[in-house]
């Protein structure tokens, strides 16, 4: 049944754009069972490889309210477990199951086998990921396609933050006939060391981990827009999504759906319900569906790309009646152009219209003239 929230990836119909991403939340039928009351549109299993992982421990570190580092590796359960028990049990919970698989070799000779086993086990789609270097992903995707008729999602990592790199990789992936590109996995490697002991917190030998959570959301948005705009790819945005507003932002930039992991780890599984409720209210209020909103902001970006020069607005203007006198704008102004008088903020002549105060003001009292 179609609703304002519904979306699709190839032939995979989804009740909403909110999918739980591959990770510790989807590492077994027992962990997935906890998610079901909050009705995610689908879950992506913990990544399945030909041999079970022996992950370092500890492997997850909360770095800030907005970020995690992890070095969790793929699933510590075998493909036979997932095919015979894991996927059938998760299917019985009544959710859509996307089986995540990865090759441990460049050639990907095991990918056909993994794809066949997960297809026979009843998965609804297959997500093919890579161990942070997407160079061999196209070959792995072809091997999967030859053994499965299910919708196939290609999950990329972005080791080089350059348009040319991402577009070249995106093109090669799309040539394999995938149904969507998931952008993206975590970013890294990264390092955190405890200053009292001098020891890294995470268990990997070099102490490194990979970054996820709201801190990486701007990358997710940028690469979603790039792949949707330049390659007309079907994109699933993944990375830093934690609020319903983030889902709308991704959809406006061309995403067909989103995947979420870290926000649920940082805030609890209720996040899924909160996001779905927020989306529902927003879409009902506007009388617009996810499908209708998809890609709307891309038009604006395309128009801007035609301009001879970048945008130059300003100076900003303070609506004195809305100003609460908190002084945050004055504190953050890099050139000291904002001054306070009788508990109201005023902008002086040295203002350079950088825009920081507009986004800092909690009362939204600063706009453009």
Ligand X SMILES: Cc1cc2nc3c(=O)[nH]c(=O)nc-3n(C[C@H](O)[C@H](O)[C@H](O)COP(=O)(O)O)c2cc1C
The site for ligand X (CB under 6 A) is made up of 21-24, 46-47, 60, 68, 70, 72, 74, 100, 129, 155, 185-186, 212-213, 216, 238-241, 260-263
Q: Which is nearer to ligand X, 263 or 272 (CB)?
A: 263
Nearest CA among 292, 274, 295 for reference residue 283: 292
As a whole number of angstroms, the distance between CA 182 and CA 37 comes to 25
Q: Which is nearer to ligand X, 176 or 186 (CB)?
A: 186
In three-state secondary structure terms, 154 is strand
Tokens of 95: 């959710």
As a whole number of angstroms, the distance between CA 162 and CA 167 comes to 9
CB-count exposure of residue 257 (10 Å: 0-12, 13-18, 19+):
buried
Q: Which is nearer to ligand X, 203 or 325 (CB)?
A: 203
As a whole number of angstroms, the distance between CA 253 and CA 223 comes to 9
In the complex, what is the shortest distance from the CB of residue 57 to ligand X, in angstroms, rounded to a whole number? Answer: 12
Residues in the chain: 369
Count the neighbouring beta carbons within 10 Å of the beta carbon of residue 343. 10
In the complex, what is the shortest distance from the CB of residue 267 to ligand X, in angstroms, rounded to a whole number? Answer: 11
Q: Which is nearer to ligand X, 24 or 122 (CB)?
A: 24
Q: How far is C-alpha 144 from the geometric centre of its chain's CA atoms?
A: 23
In the complex, what is the shortest distance from the CB of residue 213 to ligand X, in angstroms, rounded to a whole number? Answer: 5
In the complex, what is the shortest distance from the CB of residue 21 to ligand X, in angstroms, rounded to a whole number? Answer: 3
Count the neighbouring beta carbons within 10 Å of the beta carbon of residue 188. 18
As a whole number of angstroms, the distance between CA 53 and CA 167 comes to 31
Q: Which is nearer to ligand X, 68 or 333 (CB)?
A: 68
Q: Which is nearer to ligand X, 183 or 329 (CB)?
A: 183
As a whole number of angstroms, the distance between CA 272 and CA 46 comes to 18
Q: Which is nearer to ligand X, 271 or 361 (CB)?
A: 271
In the complex, what is the shortest distance from the CB of residue 211 to ligand X, in angstroms, rounded to a whole number? Answer: 8
**Pairing between strand 344-347 and 67-70?**
unpaired
In the complex, what is the shortest distance from the CB of residue 35 to ligand X, in angstroms, rounded to a whole number? Answer: 14
In the complex, what is the shortest distance from the CB of residue 45 to ligand X, in angstroms, rounded to a whole number? Answer: 8
């Amino acid at each position: 049944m179609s609703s304002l929230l519904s979306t699709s990836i190839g032939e995979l119909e989804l009740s909403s754009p909110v999918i739980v991403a591959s990770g510790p939340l989807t590492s077994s039928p027992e962990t997935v069972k906890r998610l079901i009351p909050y009705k995610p549109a689908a879950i992506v299993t913990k990544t399945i490889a030909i041999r079970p992982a022996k992950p370092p421990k500890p492997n997850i570190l909360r770095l800030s309210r907005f970020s995690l580092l992890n070095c969790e590796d793929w699933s510590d359960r075998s493909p036979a477990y997932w095919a015979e028990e894991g996927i059938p049990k998760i299917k019985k919970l009544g959710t859509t199951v996307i089986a995540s698989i990865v090759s441990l070799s460049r050639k990907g000779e095991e990918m056909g086998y993994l794809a066949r086993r997960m297809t026979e086990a009843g998965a609804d789609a297959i997500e093919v990921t890579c161990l942070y270097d997407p160079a061999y992903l196209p070959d792995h995707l072809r091997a999967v396609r030859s053994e499965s008729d299910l919708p196939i999602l290609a999950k990329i990592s972005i080791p080089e933050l350059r348009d040319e790199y991402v577009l070249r990789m995106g093109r090669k992936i799309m040539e394999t006939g995938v149904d969507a590109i998931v952008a993206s996995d975590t970013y890294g490697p990264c390092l955190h060391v405890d200053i009292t002991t001098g020891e890294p917190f995470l268990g990997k030998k070099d102490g490194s981990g990979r970054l996820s959570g709201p801190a990486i959301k701007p990358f997710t948005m940028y690469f979603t827009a790039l792949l949707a705009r330049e390659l007309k790819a079907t994109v699933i945005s993944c990375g830093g999504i934690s609020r319903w507003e983030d889902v709308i932002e991704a959809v406006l930039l061309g995403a067909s759906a989103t995947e979420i992991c870290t926000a649920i780890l940082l805030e609890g599984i209720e996040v899924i319900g909160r996001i779905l409720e927020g989306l529902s209210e927003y879409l009902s209020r506007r009388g617009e569906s996810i499908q209708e909103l998809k890609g709307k902001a891309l038009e604006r970006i395309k128009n801007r790309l035609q301009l001879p020069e970048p945008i130059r607005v300003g100076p900003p203007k303070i609506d004195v009646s809305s100003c609460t006198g908190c002084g945050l704008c004055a504190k953050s102004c890099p050139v000291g152009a904002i001054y306070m008088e009788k508990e109201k903020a005023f902008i002086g002549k040295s203002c350079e219209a950088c825009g920081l105060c507009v986004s800092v003001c909690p009362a939204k009292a600063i706009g453009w003239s």
